[in-house]
Amino acid sequence: MGILEGKRILVTGVITDSSIAFHVARMCQEQGATVLLTGYGRLSLVERVAQRLPEAPPVLELDVTDNEHLDSLSSRIAEHVDGIDGIVHAIAYTPQEALGGNFLNAGWDDVATAVHTSAFSLKALTTAVLPLMKQGGSVVAMDFDNSVSYPVYDWMGVAKSALTSTARYLARYVGEDQVRVNMVSAGPLRTMAARSIPGFDELADAWPQRAPLGWDTSDPEPAARAVTALLSDWFPATTGEVVHVDGGFHSTGA
């Protein structure tokens, strides 16, 4: 038996088989869970990628900034499973105008898009699915250390700070429903999302040298393992926490 035996997990953010979310979905299935995926825009792409999992899961359309999508999400999930035990939030987006050294030039519309999609969406997604979490459960969001500034990350870094704070407040309010909310702060990985950040190599190249345990920017497995563990019952009294899976980079100075 796996640590997620019998659990029903909703995983967002699968775009390619290099994404952390894909490896989380795979690991959840290997640990006994029934998995559902969400996708936005190119659903056919997500459906093709889903075929590479041990068992091809249903793929539900979801734009986390669309109230109609959110309002119907619970009923669409209920067509496949009778409840949800875990949610993986792996959604982030910042317009190019707010990245790559454009911090001082970015306008509010682009910043608002980043915060809405990358941070507020955690609250929106969780409250949309909460009616299906009658037995409690676990929400895990993908974070990136935001205790300091980084080159090129700019307003995505600010959005990640907002995401961390959103998770803590969300943990406060859904705790009465026995729902835990935690975050996994992974080091930089060469995913499709990362490749969209101008100057990403400048950010990633420093990681392996400064992380005490080293860091492989091509290996999403450590982060996926942490997410899977937090979805399980092995952390029954942990909520509002940020688990760093970055080789220890966050703990070191220059």
Backbone angles phi, psi at 248, to 5 degrees: 90, 5
pLDDT band at 208 (very low <50, low <70, confident <90, very high): confident
Q: How far apart are CA 15 and CA 22, in angstroms?
A: 8
Q: What percent of the chain is modeled with pLDDT above 90?
A: 84
pLDDT band at 195 (very low <50, low <70, confident <90, very high): low
pLDDT digits (tens, 9 = 90+) for 77-129: 999 999 999 999 999 999 999 998 999 999 999 999 999 999 999 999 999 99
| The two structure tokens encoding residue 52 | 């590479």
Annotated binding site for NAD(+): 13, 19-20, 63-64, 91, 160
Annotated binding site: 13, 19-20, 63-64, 91, 160
Domains detected in the chain: 8-246 (3.40.50.720)
Q: How far apart are CA 218 and CA 243, in angstroms?
A: 20
pLDDT the model gives residue 192: 64
pLDDT digits (tens, 9 = 90+) for 142-170: 999 989 898 889 999 999 999 999 999 99
Q: Which residues of 155-188 are buried (b: 16+ CB within 10 A; e: fewer)?
A: bbbbbbbbbbebbeebbeebeeeebbbbbbbbbb
Task: Flag whether pLDDT at 254 surpasses 80.
Answer: no
Please give, one letter per residue, the 3-state secondary structure of 79-103: CCCCCCCEEEECCCCCCHHHCCCCC
